Amino acid sequence: MTSLFNDKVAFPSLHTVEIKGLVELKMIWQYKLSTADSFSKLEKVIVHNCKNLVKVFSSSMQGKLHNLKRLQISHCEMVEEVFEIQMPNIIEQTYNIMPSQLIHLSLVSLSKLKHVWSKDPQGTLTFPHLKEVTATLCPSLESIFPPSIARELFKLGKLDIQYCGIQEIVAKHQVLEEELETEPPPELLINADSFSELEVKVSHCDNLIRIFHLICTKFSAI
C-alpha cells in the first residue's frame, strides 16, 4: 500500500485519524489532495506500528494542520520525519498560513526519526499552543525544534526526552553553522522568558550538548 489517502476522496469533516498495524503503508497522505478543505478539521492523529511508513505528514498537509490538537506516533521504525516542510513559493497549492492548535506531541520508539520538522518552516507553520512534548527511544533524532518553531512556544509546559540521540533541543540556525564563529546575535537566540513555566526532563541522552541557545531578559548577572 503506497498511501492511505489520495486525490480521489475528500474528508472535509474528519476529526480523528487512527492508524495501527498497517505494515505495508509507506505514506498516509499523497502530495495532491482532492479539495482545499479536505482534512482541514482534523484534530487527532494516532499512528502505531506502521513498519514501512517513512513520513507522517506530506507537504500537501502543511496548510491543513490548524485544527490539529493531538499527535501520537509510535513504533514506526522507518519514519524519518513527521512534518515535511515546503516553503510557500514552491508549493503548488496556495493556502492561508494559520497557527496549528497542536497541544500534545508524543514520539515513541521511532528508531530512524531524524527530524520532527524536515526543515525550519520559518514562520510558514507555527505551533504556539503546544503544551507537552514527549520523545522516547528515538536514537537517530538530532534535535526537537527548528529555531522558528521554538521562538513561538509560549505555552510549552512539559518537555520529556528519554533515550534519544539528540545533541540539542533546538537545532542551530543555519547561519550559526555556516557563518558565525562567535556567539550568535540575540535575534537568533531563544528568549528564556518564553519558557518560564517549562518543566524539562531529559534522561539517557548521551549526545546532548545543550538545551537551548537562550537570551535572558528577566535576569541579570550578579
Q: Where do the domains of the chain lie, and which CATH numbers do they carry?
A: 3-215 (3.80.10)
Q: Rounded CA gap, 169 and 159, in Å?
A: 10
Q: Rounded CA gap, 146 and 86, in Å?
A: 14
**Which is nearest to 52 in space by CA: 17, 2, 16?**
2
β-partners of residue 144 are none
Give Dmax over CA atoms of the chain in angstroms: 64
* Angle at 74 (CA atoms; ends 135, 106), nearest 5 degrees: 40
- What pLDDT, on a 0 to 100 scale, did the predictor assign at position 11? 79
Residue 11 makes CB contacts below 8 A (sequence gap 6+) with 5, 38, 39
Residue by residue, pLDDT tens for the chain (222 residues) are: 577 876 677 777 889 999 999 999 998 987 666 566 778 889 999 999 999 999 999 888 888 888 999 999 999 999 999 999 887 654 444 455 678 999 999 999 999 999 999 999 888 889 999 999 999 999 999 999 998 898 888 899 999 999 999 998 988 765 444 444 455 544 445 555 566 678 989 999 999 987 765 544 333 333
Exposure of 177 by Cβ count < 10 A (0-12 exposed, 13-18 middle, 19+ buried)?
exposed
- What pLDDT, on a 0 to 100 scale, did the predictor assign at position 186? 46
Cell numbers for 74: 509510535
- What pLDDT, on a 0 to 100 scale, did the predictor assign at position 188? 47
Cell numbers for 163: 533515550
- Spell 102-125 as b/e; 16+ CB within 10 A means b: bbebbbbbbeebebbbbebbeebb
Task: Name the amino acid, one letter, at 47.
Answer: V
